[in-house]
Structures are given as structure tokens and as C-alpha cells.
Amino acid sequence: MFSKKFKTTAEIPEPSPRLIDQIIGQDEALEIVLSAIKNKRHALLLGDPGVGKSMMVKAVGDLVEKSTADFSPYTLLAKPNFRNSEKPIVESIDGEYKEQIEPVKTNMIKEPPSFITLIIFMLIFTIITSYITRAMPDVKLLGVVAITSIVAFALAFVIIFMTVFGAAKGQMGGGTNPLDLRPVVLYECKKRPLIRASAYNTTKLLGDIKHCPLGGKPPLGTPPHKRIILGAVHEAHKGVLYVDEIKTMPLEVQDYILSALQDKKLSISGRNPNSSGATVETNEIPCDFTLIMSGNMDDVNNLRAPLLDRIDYKIVLKNKIENNQENRDKLLQFITQEIKNNNLNPMSYEACCEIVKLAQKLAGSKDKLTLRLRLLSNIIKMASDIAEGKDIAKMIKEMDIKEEDIKEIEKNITNKKPENVSVKKIGPINIVKIFENKNKKNKTNNSNKNEMPKIEELPLTINSENKKENKDKKTKLIDVSHVKTIIDTGIYSLHKQVSIDYLKNFKRYKHISPNSPSKIGVIHGLAVLGADGMGDVTKIITEVINSKTPNTSLLNISGDLAKHSITLASALSRKLASEGKLPISTASEEDLDLDTKDIFIQFSQSYSKIDGDSATTAVCLCILSSLLKIPLKQDFAITGSLDLNGDILAIGGVNEKINAAKEYGFKRVIVPQSNMIDVIDVEGIEVIPAKTLGEIIPIVFDY
């Protein structure tokens, strides 16, 4: 299986820490991406989910950020526009910007009075007022006090208004604070950037202008040049812009990106028409970048033709590789690096072999291995969880830590806490941890005074259990049984879980009787339920009756391809029966008067959609059985597509179908000859390859 001999993955050397070395099976695509970035060409990566598109760009980005060739650091500054404040200026300067702070003249800014100054002012005002009014008659005194109170209240209101609403920025007459005239650093680029952005986030991609409820009017509002948000297209200047999930990219955003690619510069304006930033627009900002986009195969239909035409390289990533020694070793490398990167339990040799078998099944062929590595990674993680062997009761006990226990532990630690022990609360359940201070100097000086108590001496039941679990974790392996548990339950795939649930609920109600006596017009076909689903057995029944208006009636059949295929099977069976060239004895010519026959075809108890042509061979044999009144044996299930020449063609999901025939208890299963290269497991059932219809007639009819 592998070129290396080992018992567990712990014996295998650790993989390279470089991401570029951890990419598996995409050597050709990686070479093209590296060439595109080096020569500043735009690229589009297409492929199935989990084949490594994002990882490839991330790995290349590590190399890009370390590259200093043909790159000089720069800084983007935002400056106010004195002629038109709603059109701030964004300027790019080479190197690092060093702000030169000039002293601000005191007469240019009116600072609000301090609180102590206000108190002193009020005391002086009160003393002077008392001195002036001491000789006044009582009649006039009341009016003076009222007027004085009104004036004092108005003065206090003005002072509070200036303090709260920012009068310190300038004079209330419309002056501007000199601090608002200084440039603002928007972005400092010290190394060649790789900027990642999601296609649906317009602000992140193109930039925006922050909303200010007071607008940009001084002295209350925030100046427009201080509200600029750079987009990813601008931050990727002189570097690489990676846009993921292109299916979610709005069409208007594609137009902006197309403009940026063509002009190598793009202005920023407010994206929200109801915001104060809607009236703000900057000058055109440089954005000379290399664009890399990625998505699934069908996502390319969402891209505008002009933008797609601007992309130099259109790269389709592989979803499977050849099953050979070299690639199996690469898959073992992947297993090892996933265990290391996610701190999982080691995996046994047999479990690694089971992962390879699963990679074959997911690829749909014995001589292929899937490159849907994210799916394999999820299965490895879940198998590691099962290897822990924790049941529901134990997990609840670990998570349900009572508040009284926490307080007791904290109390005990506080009472016995030495200087080199610290207590920290982590998470919502306040788990207490002890951290030993490893400073050798403190340890030497305090060795006689405050010795570090052993963990066992402290009443830490929780930590003792965790310590025991960590010890046990080192000895627990991900065994083949753990991997098979994940595969059998199908928890890694929604489609498979639905299929398993369907079969559990309906299998016991289906009238499938394998290895029963031979019957006329009854045969068992094979199907696959959903993508990544399960195989199932379907009973096919045909009935031929006399009729003045002969026709072929299809029952329980949906999907145009299936209908055409069954009609083809009906025509071929009529042709073979009428010509009498079959290697079996036929009925009399009167019984084979096909001009008076109605043919009914039923997929019995078929509750799922039938949309393929893999039942063509089974239907043709079933119709022949009804026309010729010759029984079919019931110890086999069959799958295969059929053409008008009687040749049996390849179908999909052959391994799932063979497994379904095996689970139902059939002795034999007939598959197309061309599918034998895909068959993985033949244990427990006889697999018969067939090339033409004539080959299988002698082994399926009981005559």
C-alpha cells in the first residue's frame, strides 16, 4: 500500500512546514499559478470544493510576501481638498511617511475653559454681584437677580455646547482646526501584499466612505479625507488580489474590477446613497495588481464575458489522481500533516489503508484517488474524536462543572497559593488552571522558603482527571474501526445520511426476494440515491397484454434521460424478439405479433427520482422475458446502459451498486465490462462483467 513501513503515523517524519510543500496532486495547476504571478498574469481557478484552491493561493502568497524583487514600499495618504472638501485627495508616496508636526499657535484654537476655571469664574461673579447689589432696595433686587441668572444660564449653555460638540476644533464662526488639515495615513505597504477578499463584500473589495451624521462641515463633522476606507483592490497595489467564491460577486462589482484591471486605478466613493459619504469621491487611486479568482465549475457562468476575457489563465484543478505508489505516499503525507496541524491522535497503518480505500470510493474507481482532501480531513478529525471513546454521560460530566466546585477550588488554591503559582479563569465555565513559573532564578532563591507544591497535593479533581486523560490520549490510536464508523454512519455527507435514513425506513417494506424461484417479467436493477449516496435495489416488472392500440407505458419513471432509455430498451427487445435471433427458444409467431401488444414497465416501489440510463439492460431483459414467456433467475441484480446494437455501456456508481446487491443478499451482480476497472471490493458476491446483451442471456434466463 505505502512505500514506508510503520505501525502508526507517529513513526513518520513530520511533513514540511511550508504550505507549498503540502499541496497534493495539483502540481500542474501550481506551476501555472506561480508562472502567472511571476509574470503578472491574471488567473481563474475552478474546481470541486475541497481540492485545494484556497490553500494553493495561500501557499503562493507566502512566497509572494517574501519576494522583494521589483518591489518598493509605499504609503497611501489622504489629504483634504481645499477647493472642494467633498473630493479628498489620496496620494501615493514612496517609502515610509514621517509626519512633521508643526507647533500650533494658541490664538488659532480656542480651548474651552476647564472645570476649575469655571468654578473660580462663578465665585468671582457671585462676589462682585453681591457687592453691587448690597445697597439696592428689595424691589429692584429681585429683577437684578433674575436678569443675572438668565445671563449666567446662557453663558453656561454656550460653554457646555462648545465643550460637548467640539468647539475646540475651531472657532464657532466656521474656522477649521489645523489638526484636520494634516494628512491621514490610509495604508503602509512594506512588503509585496497578497490581499484576500470575498466576492460578496463590496466594501471590502472596492472601498467606501464612512458615514458621518454631521457631514463633513467643520467644526462639527468629520472631514471627508478622514472617512476614507480603502478597498482590497487598492491594498493589493503592486501585489496579488485573491477573490474567492466568485458566484456571489454582484454584476456591478465586476464592472468596477474590470475598470481597475484596464485603467490600473480606481476612485473610492460612498456606497450607501442614504449616507453622508454618497457625495464624497476621491481621485483615482493606483491599483496595479495581479488578480486571482476561484470558484466551482458552474460559477464561471456568473462572470461577465468582458471580465472573463481579461483573465489570462483559466485553470481547472483535478479532482482525482492515479492510484499508484507515489500518490498513495502523498496521501499518507496528507494524513500525517492533518494529524500534526490539528493535534490529533496518531493513526494506525490499517486506518491509513482504509482512508486510501475511501479515497478510491470517492473517486469512483479502483485506479483513482480523490483529491477532495477537505472531505478526507473532516473524516480523519471525526475518527480522532471517536477514538477518544467518550460517551454522552462522560462529556456531560466534563462540561457540567458546578459553581460550588469552582469556588472550592479557588478557595483552596488561594489559601495555599505560593508566589510562583498564578490562577487564571478561562472560558464561560471558569476552569481553573495552574501555571508554573519556570524562572530558574526565582526557583533557586525561593527553594527553601516557598517550595512549589505538587499538583496532586492540591484538591484539583478536574485537573487530575484532565492529566489522566492527556496521558491516555497519547496511547489512543485512530484505528480502522473508528474510520469505518464514520463511513458507515455517513456523518461526513448530507446526501449519504439522507440515503441511509431512506434505506432504513423503506428497505423493510420493499418486496425484494433475492435468490427466489425464477419469474417471468421480473428483474432486479440497481440505482444510486443522491451524490455521495448509497446504492439501492429496484424491482422492475413488465407486463405484456393484447391491445388494438399498442404502446409502451412507463410507470414510476421520471427524468427525460430515463424515459428515452426505457423507450430504447423497449424498441430493442421488440426487435430482438421479432427477429428470432436470440440464443433461446421463442414462442410461436402468433404470440409474437407485436402489432397487438401493449407493454407496461413498472419500477416497483420506486420513491426516488429515476433520471439515469443504467437500468436499460435490466428493462430490455425483463421485456424479453414477458414477450417470450421465459422466466428470469432471481439470484442476480444487474446494471448497465444499452445501445441499439445490444452493447452494454459503462455507468456511474458501480461500487455503490455492487455493495447494495451484496447487502440485499444476491449471489451475483452483473456490471458492464468497461466498469471493471472501477470495481474496488468484490468480496462476498460474484461480479460478472458483460460486454453485450447476448453474453448474459444464457446466464439470466431459466430455459
Catalytic residues, by residue number, are: 614, 657
Cβ(638)–Cβ(522) under 8 Å?
no
Phi, psi of 414 (to 5 degrees): -65, -40
Q: Considering Cα of 513, then 514, then 516, then 518, what sign does the dihedral take? A: positive
Q: Which three cell numbers stand for residue 454?
A: 505538587
565-597 burial, b at 16+ Cβ within 10 Å, e below that, comes to bbebbbebbbebbeeeebeeebeeeeeeeeeeb
Q: Do 4 and 273 touch, CB atoms closer than 8 A?
A: no
Give, for 399, the enclosing helix (H) or strand (E). helix 392-399
- Quick check: 73 and 65 in contact, CB under 8 A? no
Stated as kind and residue range, the H or E segment containing 240 is: strand 240-244
For 236, residues 6+ apart whose C-beta sits below 8 A from its C-beta are: 193, 194, 195, 287, 289
Q: What count of other Cβ atoms lies within 10 Å of the Cβ of residue 428?
A: 6
- Choose among 217, 490, 451: nearest CA to 361: 490
d(CA 571, CA 644): 8
DSSP string for 507-569: GGGS---TTEEEETTEEEEEEEETTTTEEEEEEEEEEEEE-SS--EEEES--SHHHHHHHHHH
What gap in Å lies between CA 697 and CA 353, rounded to an integer? 39
Which amino acid appears at position 578 of this protein? S
Q: Report the first-to-last Cα separation within the chain, whole angstroms.
A: 46
Residue 179 is classified by DSSP as G
Integer Cα distance of 54 and 51 in angstroms: 9
Question: Cell numbers at residue 407, please?
Answer: 469556588
Give me the sign of the Cα torsion angle 194, 200, 206, 210.
Answer: negative
Beta carbons of 77 and 90 less than 8 angstroms apart = yes
List Cβ neighbours of 547 (8 Å cut-off, separation of 6 or more): 596, 597, 598
Pairing of strands 534-546, 597-604: antiparallel
CB 355 within 8 A of CB 483: yes
Residue type, 538: T
Contact between residue 238 and residue 287 where contact means Cβ atoms under 8 Å apart: no
Angle at 412 between CA 409 and CA 417, to 5 degrees: 115
Beta-ladder partners of 84: none
User: Could you tell me which residues are beta bridge partners of residue 421?
Assistant: 436
User: Measured between alpha carbons, how far is residue 542 from residues 396, 576, 580, 623, 626 in Å?
Assistant: 56, 16, 20, 6, 7
